[in-house]
Amino acid sequence: MRADVAALARVELLAADEEVSGFAAALLLEGSASVCPAIVDTAVASVERTMLVTTRGSSGESVALRVVAGPVGAQVAVWDAAVIDEALDACPWVQEELAARADHLQTLAGAVMGPLGELDDDARTRIVDQMRTLVVRPREVIVQAGAPLPELMLVCAGAVEVDDDEDGALMVRPGEVLFPRELRDGSPCPATACAAAAGALLLVGDRPLAEELAAAPALAPFFER
């Protein structure tokens, strides 16, 4: 099976700073590379040789990722989603492991698309390392209106729907903090929030971490919303 999967790969030769995207899985064969969100230039992970990069996580709506070659260029094997699905149809446990790997990259990508993107790499890594990943099923309720909001919740992939009596459901997208003002003030949750139709992937941190972020000058404006 490994031989069959390897035979289905497409090998990309990338010069320095060239990139490949739109894949379900990628494997660095030679050179150096990093993973970046498609719409942000910040690298969220270094790619080690033979490290498998997967892009489809637990949420049905993922953040688009790309592999960008380092200064010496890179040789990268890539697989499309249809190829992976067909090749691993008989191995659902492998599919689950690939999704778990993708979840990790999705959380790192989501963390640079909003307020945490204002921090330098070391500060952001320190914060993300204190948070845990939460996979939310489609339409699953995350917090009820009127309930306390004890934790920092950052949407990383998918979306969260917030009920609004006047405007209908509002969407919280990757990179955005859920109820930032109420979190800062210690106020009850103003509305019910649930995962959107494709589910959501969150990074969750405790209240002291939320207070630290809200007090940081670079992040304070994000907690006024």
User: Considering the domain 2-111, what is its CATH architecture?
Assistant: Sandwich (2.60)
Q: How far apart are CA 84 and CA 122, in angstroms?
A: 34
User: If residue 85 lies in a helix (H) or strand (E), which one and from where to where?
Assistant: helix 81-87
Q: What is the pLDDT of residues 45-102, one digit of tens each?
A: 999 888 899 999 888 888 999 999 999 999 999 999 988 888 888 888 888 899 999 9
The 10 Å CB-count burial string (b at 16+, else e) for 58-67 is bbebbbebbb
Q: What is the pLDDT of residues 112-168, one digit of tens each?
A: 988 888 888 898 999 999 999 999 999 999 999 999 887 999 999 999 999 876 566
User: What are the two backbone dihedrals, phi and then psi, of residue 129, each rounded to the nearest 5 degrees?
Assistant: -65, -20
Q: Report the distance separating Cα 210 and Cα 180, nearest Å.
A: 9
Give the pLDDT confidence of 164-210 residue by residue, as tens digits: 765 667 899 999 999 999 998 989 999 999 999 999 999 999 989 98
Contacts of 96 by beta carbon, 8 Å cutoff, 6+ apart: none
Q: Tell me the residue type at 116.
A: L
Domains 2-111 and 117-224 share a fold: yes
Asked if residues 84 and 55 have their Cβ atoms less than 8 Å apart, the reply is no
- Domain chopping of the chain, boundaries: 2-111, 117-224
C-beta of residue 155 within 8 angstroms of C-beta of residue 110: yes
Q: Could you confirm whether domain 117-224 is CATH 2.60.120.10? A: yes
Collapsing DSSP to helix, strand or coil, 7 comes out as helix
Distance CA 151, CA 130 (A): 12
Instruction: Say whether 112 sits in a helix, a strand or coil.
Output: coil
